[in-house]
Amino acid sequence: MTSAPVVLLHTDAPDAARAIVAAEHPDLTIRCCDSYEGLPATLAELRPEVCYSVRFSGTAEFPAVALIGSAGLRWLSIGGSGIDHLPRWDPARLTVTNAAGVAAGMMAEYALGAMLAFSLDLRGFARAQKERRWTDGRVAPIEGRTLLILGLGQTGQAAARRAKAMGMEVLGVRARPGPTENVDEVYGMEALPELWPRADFILVAVPLLPTTRGLVNAAAFAAMKPGAVLIDVSRGFVVDEAALIAALEGGPLKGAALDVFATEPLPESHAFWGMENVIVTPHCSSVYDGWAEKSVRMFAENLARYRQGSALANVVDPARGY
């Protein structure tokens, strides 16, 4: 085992995080920082070798440059799956890992819930109930329908498992296509023009990269099947919001469930708030009771690998962005 490194925990729940890490690594010097504004000074003072960091107040003020440029930092463990808030780093100097999979199951359940909400017309029934109006109710199955998953990482694969359990056909695209469990057909991104018309539901679960920015655009919506539903749990800017609004207002889409947006919090004036066929959630598809604890435990397990000189789990390639 290597010498005990100084570890910095950057989180808004420092006491709980410290207790988890200290229980697994009682010999370590563990320090905490629970703010964005205090992180640069804390990094300069402590010069930690290892830092675990979570975005807990959004992205706008996150001190990413100070974190990536911290002298002496050898390993940065991001507490979530996304790393699009970080500038490019030198992998020869710094290893970055994420917590991919920490919320994969929950995000997959969000997607399943969104598909059921639209197929069962739950929002329509809720409106009728509020008006005390008995309707000629009609529901539809998702069994036999086709789900197209953009991004077959851990979230995409978790969604595929649930979709197959519901009797759905599952199509998927990924950067490096290959046989994937619970996915009937796997393609590269270049196949999307032929796949849009086949999908009843489209789940967007790719990271935000130069190659995925604007991936779901006006041309994509024009090619989609009438009555299709879009579910977005990726990052803002993967879906072209102006094109999405047009597709929802007069285009082919039946509806959309949106958990991520180009601007967060979503401005009060945004059109999405008033659209009957849109479900708006506040970037919470990955937030559930116990996720923070699970993320820290994943870090503590990875820290044992680091101290033993073993390969770390969930290492992020800065060139690929995941």
Q: What is the pLDDT of residues 190-235, one digit of tens each?
A: 999 999 999 999 999 999 999 999 999 999 999 999 999 999 999 9
- Assigned token pair, 88: 């490019």
Active site residue 283: yes
Is 249 considered catalytic here?
no
Domain-located, residue 320: no
Residue 313 lies in a domain: no
- Per-residue model confidence as pLDDT tens digits over 152-167: 999 999 999 999 999 9
CA count, 13 A, side-chain hemisphere, 163: 31
Q: What is the CATH number of the domain that holds 121?
A: 3.40.50.720
Helix (H) or strand (E) holding 19: helix 14-24
pLDDT tens-digit map of 116-146: 999 999 999 999 999 999 999 999 999 999 9
In this prediction, residue 60 carries a pLDDT of 80
Which domain covers residue 254, as residue numbers?
Answer: 104-280
State pLDDT tens for residues 55-92. Answer: 988 778 899 999 999 999 999 999 998 888 899 999 99
Using DSSP, state whether 146 is helix, strand or coil: strand
Judge whether residue 2 has pLDDT over 80: no
Count CB atoms within 10 A of the CB of residue 101: 18
Give the residue ranges of DSSP H helices in 83-191. Answer: 104-119, 122-130, 154-165
Same structural domain for residues 26 and 41? Answer: yes
- Say yes or no: 57 and 126 in one domain: no
Is residue 264 annotated as a catalytic residue, yes or no?
yes
Question: Which one is catalytic: 10, 145, 235, 297?
Answer: 235
Q: Which of 24, 109, 264, 293 is catalytic?
A: 264
Instruction: Indicate whether 128 and 234 sit together in one domain.
Output: yes
DSSP output for 194-261: HHGGG-SEEEE-----TTTTT-B-HHHHHHSPTT-EEEE-S-TTSB-HHHHHHHHHTSS-SEEEES--
The Cα–Cα gap between 77 and 97 comes to: 5
Domain count, the chain: 2
